[in-house]
Homo-oligomer: A and B are copies of this chain.
Amino acid sequence: MKPKTSVNHIKSITKRPLKVKGFRAAGVSVGIKTTRTKDLALIVSDLPARVAGVFTTNRVKASSIDVDIVRTKTGRSKGVIINSGNANACTGKAGIRATDKTLKAIERELGLKSGEMLVSSTGVIGVPLDVLKIERGIPKLVKALSAEGFTSAAEAIMTTDASMKTISGKVQIGDEVITITAIAKGAGMIRPDMATMLAYFMTDANISAAALRKALKEAVGGSFNRITVDGGMSTNDTALIFANGAAGGELIKPASLAYKKFSQLLNELSLRLAHMIVRDGEGATKFVELTVKGAASATKAERAARALAESILVKTALFGGDPNWGRIIAELGSIDVSVNPEKTDIVIGGVKVFARGVDTGKELAAARVMKKRDVELMVDMKSGKGTYTLWTTDLSYGYVKLNSQYRT
């Protein structure tokens, strides 16, 4: 889904993580992962920065999430330290102490005041985090900081990800060109033993905390909240945006044209990162854009789209390249979305396979389209104006393999 604004203000977008004025980043290995790959990342703004965050709504939260929720309320932060390999969730009081020690150590090393840094963790849950490894690794981590460090940081936050996820974009606002660079990780919406979706945005835009909060909320709502791999929700999901104003220019406030431009770029970058996460979905062989339209309400459209995207039967049919509209219409009938099959159309890759309650006989044409990696699935319930689009994957042997292996 492209941004709905008619004018595109975005100057450029690239997968390469561009430098952002006043920001430095790093990623190093400190031995949390048994693979000896990078597992500790740091992003800092050398200038005071405004911050906004969106966090998991799971009632079972890692202690890092509890701390970040409190700290982001001030609207100000200097950066974030992230470890991978251990989510430090369901680890009791020792886990809370580990979070505390991590923050104290990094703030001391950077010469910051208490409360200026944030923290994220991702990886196995329920296993005590050896915080000594982090404390010992912090001097090395801080030494590695550089303006080009986003790639290292992106690498250091990966867990089951097959590929690194970075993106940058520029937009002209008034006389200034502002940059947003983002890194993310995630391959299943949840895989609590090696879990979590994390995304960090760094920008030199001069934007108010209120505008930043609004823009992040909108961007996450249109991107990360519209993807699903397996229907799970992590204990550690986090999206953070830091804005240090280094690009100068007037302060961007909500509802201004400048805000619209900023928001457009942020939405687009979020969407691209979200799509990268779906494409990297555990065992995924398909990238599926699923749209429900004509629903009696927006809520019913979303409910229908989520039910279809999370249906084991629909996901296995997608894996098999089977244009099985029967599973789609039966799933819709079983949930509270007021479907009337006699009015409903189902279109797969542009081929209408089901029209107003009956088969159209175009199954073979649809099966051909479904052989592609990218599949568009559209259901038109013709009962109203509710529309919802999300992106998902199929359910393959590969997914079952990844998620059934004993964690040793």
Contact = CB atoms under 8 A, between A and B. Distances in A.
Interface of A: 57-61, 89-92, 124-127, 188, 190-193, 195, 230-235, 310-313, 316-317, 319-322, 324-327, 329-334, 338-341, 354, 357-359, 367, 395-397, 399-401, 403-407
Interface pairs A-B: 7 shortest CB-CB: A320-B404, A60-B333, A192-B326, A233-B334, A316-B403, A59-B333, A58-B333
A58 B328 CA distance: 12
- A interface SS class: loop
B400 A316 contact: yes
Contact of A311 (B232, B317, B333): B232
Nearest to A59: B333
A339 B313 CA distance: 29
A126 B359 contact: yes
A59 B334 CA distance: 6
Q: In the assembly, how many copies of this chain are there?
A: 2
B406 A330 contact: no
A330 B124 CA distance: 12
B92 A330 contact: no
Contacts of A310: 312
29 contacts: A58-B333, A59-B332, A59-B340, A60-B332, A60-B333, A60-B341, A90-B354, A90-B358, A92-B358, A124-B326, A190-B330, A191-B313, A192-B313, A192-B329, A231-B311, A231-B312, A232-B311, A233-B333, A233-B334, A234-B330, A310-B312, A312-B395, A313-B403, A316-B400, A319-B404, A395-B400, A396-B404, A397-B397, A400-B400
A191 B320 CA distance: 14
A235 B327 CA distance: 10
Given A60-B329, A188-B313, 5 more contacts: A61-B333, A126-B325, A126-B326, A192-B326, A235-B333
Nearest to A124: B326
Given A334-B58, A341-B60, A396-B400, A92 B357 contact: yes
Nearest to A370: B406
Nearest to A359: B126
Contact of A407 (B231, B234, B322, B333): B322
B404 A316 contact: yes
